[in-house]
């Protein structure tokens, strides 16, 4: 799926014109700050840059400008700034920042939330939620009781990722994991695979449930379509199970497990995909070193971040019609770990 060209922002205009972003904002709104006089040549330079780049002010910014603080809160149930360079949440935050800037909004990251029973909580004695016009929620697993309270209180929010109802429908922007997994299953079946295995992490999040549903619905034509847990099992034990059942392709929820399984396969003198095909069901949540390009799909994380701000803005300003729920398509990655069963030796004989 081709990426959407990045829209020109006020920050871009400021950089190209050699002025501050505040100056660009004043020129766009055809006004001057009480303490700042914009020189005619500066105004002309900004207007010329706007014309040359084709910049157009986002309608969201115009709707929010008059009546709201234009502050968008961001709450993460997991740490927002982990040390790994391939941080799973980083692209979401990039997309959120990009669209917030386009809409003329500042971001307020709620970092003081206490950890209760091993999880961060939005609602606590000193929560500052009301400083923001609304809030975006990030996390692999979001607390349903807190969603229920947000619905009850009528506070504008949008979840990144599909969420089940919580005392009412939940506004969200998610990825269509069921369709993405279904597409991979169909691809494996088309290449002749009939003995499939789904390696799950036992997570109860909606994203995991959607992946498993996509597998079940698409694998009806398979001779065997098993579900195996990877919890408390090393890659060698998992591989033993797969080989004993003559599995030809494994669909793996956790990227690190896929990497470990491929290494275990090579240690046995087997090959991927010659003896076992391994497909991954999303991006790494933590950095995992590997030079192998796994067949699987990419999650549209930046676009999910952008559209979550767009949806939240429509909730805040009242322009949303009904509860906004969007599922975005994932991008298939061809990779090099999906082969055909006739290429593999009989694993049981090895």
Q: What is the pLDDT of residue 292?
A: 94
Asked if residue 65 belongs to a domain, the reply is no
In this structure, of 11-25, 167-181, 318-332, the range with the lowest mean pLDDT score is: 11-25
CA distance 183 to 199: 17
Q: What is the pLDDT of residue 342?
A: 63
Where residue 94 sits, what CATH number does that domain have?
3.40.50.2300
Q: What is the pLDDT of residue 164?
A: 87
How many CB atoms sit inside 10 A of residue 348's CB? 9
288 and 193 within one domain: yes
Q: What is the pLDDT of residue 44?
A: 86
Tell me the mean pLDDT in the region 153-171: 89
Tell me the mean pLDDT in the region 100-108: 85
228 and 150 within one domain: no
Q: How confident is the model at residue 80 (pLDDT cuts 50, 70, 90)?
A: low
Q: What is the pLDDT of residue 302?
A: 95
90 and 161 within one domain: yes
319 and 272 within one domain: no
Q: What is the pLDDT of residue 79?
A: 66
Q: What is the pLDDT of residue 58?
A: 59
Is it the case that residue 38 has pLDDT exceeding 60? yes
Name, in order, each residue with C-beta under 8 angstroms of 20's C-beta and a sequence gap of 6 or more. Answer: 14
343 and 216 within one domain: yes
Q: How confident is the model at residue 304 (pLDDT cuts 50, 70, 90)?
A: very high
39 and 161 within one domain: no
Is it the case that residue 210 has pLDDT exceeding 70? yes
107 and 227 within one domain: no
202 and 271 within one domain: yes
Asked if residue 209 belongs to a domain, the reply is yes
Asked if residue 4 belongs to a domain, the reply is no
Asked if residue 82 belongs to a domain, the reply is yes
Domain that holds residue 184: 177-294+335-349
Is it the case that residue 350 has pLDDT exceeding 50? no
Structural domain count of the chain? 3
In this structure, of 59-73, 127-141, 296-310, the range with the lowest mean pLDDT score is: 59-73
Name, in order, each residue with C-beta under 8 angstroms of 165's C-beta and a sequence gap of 6 or more. Answer: none
Is it the case that residue 26 has pLDDT exceeding 60? yes
- CA angle, residues 108, 110, 114, in degrees to nearest 5: 170
* Residue 115: burial class (beta carbons within 10 Å; 0-12, 13-18, 19+): exposed
Asked if residue 30 belongs to a domain, the reply is yes
Is it the case that residue 215 has pLDDT exceeding 90? yes
Where residue 37 sits, what CATH number does that domain have?
1.10.260.40
108 and 24 within one domain: no
132 and 90 within one domain: yes
Asked if residue 5 belongs to a domain, the reply is no
SS3 call for 119: strand
First and final C-alpha spacing in the chain: 40
225 and 76 within one domain: no
* Residue 152: burial class (beta carbons within 10 Å; 0-12, 13-18, 19+): exposed
* Percentage above 90 pLDDT, the chain: 48
108 and 156 within one domain: yes
Q: What is the pLDDT of residue 81?
A: 57
Q: How confident is the model at residue 336 (pLDDT cuts 50, 70, 90)?
A: very high
Q: What is the pLDDT of residue 88?
A: 77
Residue with more model confidence, 12 or 307 = 307
Is it the case that residue 272 has pLDDT exceeding 50? yes
Predicted confidence (pLDDT) per residue in 237-262, tens digit: 999 999 999 999 999 999 999 999 99
């Amino acid at each position: 799926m081709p990426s959407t060209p990045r829209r020109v922002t006020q920050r871009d205009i400021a950089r190209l014109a050699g002025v501050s972003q505040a100056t660009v904002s004043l020129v766009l709104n055809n006004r001057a700050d009480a303490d700042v006089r914009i020189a005619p040549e500066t105004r002309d330079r900004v207007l010329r840059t706007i014309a040359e780049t084709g910049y157009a002010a986002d309608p969201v910014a115009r709707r929010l400008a008059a009546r709201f603080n234009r502050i968008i809160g961001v709450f993460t149930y997991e740490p927002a700034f982990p040390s790994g360079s391939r941080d799973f949440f980083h692209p979401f935050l990039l997309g959120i920042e990009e669209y917030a800037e386009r809409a003329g909004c500042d971001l307020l990251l709620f970092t003081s939330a206490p950890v209760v029973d091993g999880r961060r909580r939005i609602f606590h004695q000193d929560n500052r939620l009301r400083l923001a016009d609304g809030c975006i929620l990030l996390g692999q697993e979001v607390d349903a009781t807190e969603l229920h309270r947000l619905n009850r209180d009528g506070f504008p929010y949008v979840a990144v990722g599909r969420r089940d109802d919580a005392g009412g429908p939940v506004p969200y922007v998610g990825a269509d994991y069921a369709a993405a997994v279904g597409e991979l299953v169909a691809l494996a079946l088309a290449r002749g695979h009939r003995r499939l295995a789904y390696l799950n992490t036992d997570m109860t999040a909606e994203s995991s449930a959607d992946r498993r549903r996509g597998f079940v619905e698409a694998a009806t034509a398979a001779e065997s379509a098993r579900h195996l847990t990877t919890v408390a099992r090393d890659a060698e034990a998992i591989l033993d199970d797969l080989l004993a059942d003559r599995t030809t392709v494994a669909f793996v929820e956790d990227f690190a497990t896929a990497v470990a399984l491929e290494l275990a396969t090579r240690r046995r003198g087997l090959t991927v995909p010659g003896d076992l095909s391994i497909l991954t069901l999303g991006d790494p949540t933590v950095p995992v070193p590997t030079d192998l390009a796994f067949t699987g799909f990419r999650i549209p994380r930046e676009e999910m971040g952008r559209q979550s701000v767009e949806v939240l803005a429509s909730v805040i300003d009242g322009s949303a019609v009904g509860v906004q729920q969007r599922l975005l398509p994932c991008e298939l990655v061809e990779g090099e770990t999906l082969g055909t069963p006739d290429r593999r030796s009989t694993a049981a004989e090895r």
